[in-house]
């Protein structure tokens, strides 16, 4: 069974601060995706990382996939209240099992003005 451990589970910071969310597993994934979910909504895809060591930037968000494709991190620079939400990492299995995403429990981020 593939498991993804996300940390921290809760994070409350002030506007302008930086933060990093971690997603770790003992399993190798073919790809890893990061989603943001707001109350009453479904998860919205932020980024997909596929290659070990890959780094992707989306404005103030930086995503990194570990060299061994077992872990990932999300770094937000100068957080804003609009960044508030539940951040989920999700890994796709290898080969024929990549249809299924295994999600972490999420990190609930609150950015206070």
Partner 1 sequence: DAGVTQSPTHLIKTRGQQVTLRCSPISGHKSVSWYQQVLGQGPQFIFQYYEKEERGRGNFPDRFSARQFPNYSSELNVNALLLGDSALYLCASSLAPRGSGANVLTFGAGSRLTVL
Name the residues that contact partner 1, by CB under 8 A.
4, 6, 30-31, 33, 35, 40-45, 48, 50, 88, 90, 92, 96-106
Q: How far is the CB of 111 from partner 1 (least distance, A)?
A: 20
Q: Which is nearer to partner 1, 82 or 96 (CB)?
A: 96
Q: How far is the CB of 21 from partner 1 (least distance, A)?
A: 13
Which three-class secondary structure state does DSSP give residue 19? strand
Residues 6+ apart with CB under 8 A from 9: 105, 106, 107, 108
Distance CA 40, CA 52 (A): 33
Q: How far is the CB of 82 from partner 1 (least distance, A)?
A: 19
Q: Which is nearer to partner 1, 19 or 108 (CB)?
A: 108
Residues 6+ apart with CB under 8 A from 70: 24, 25, 26, 27, 28, 29
Q: How far is the CB of 78 from partner 1 (least distance, A)?
A: 27
């Amino acid at each position: 069974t593939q498991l993804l451990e996300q940390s921290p589970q809760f994070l409350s910071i002030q506007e302008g601060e930086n933060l990093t969310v971690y997603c770790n597993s003992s399993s190798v994934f073919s790809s890893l995706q990061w989603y943001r979910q707001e109350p009453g909504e479904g998860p919205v895809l932020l980024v997909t990382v596929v290659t070990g060591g890959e780094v992707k930037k989306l404005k103030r968000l930086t995503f990194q996939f570990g060299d061994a494709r077992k872990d990932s991190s999300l770094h937000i620079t100068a957080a804003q209240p609009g960044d508030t939400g539940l951040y989920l990492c999700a890994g796709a299995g290898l080969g024929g099992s990549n249809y299924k995403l295994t999600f972490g429990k999420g990190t609930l981020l609150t950015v206070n003005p």
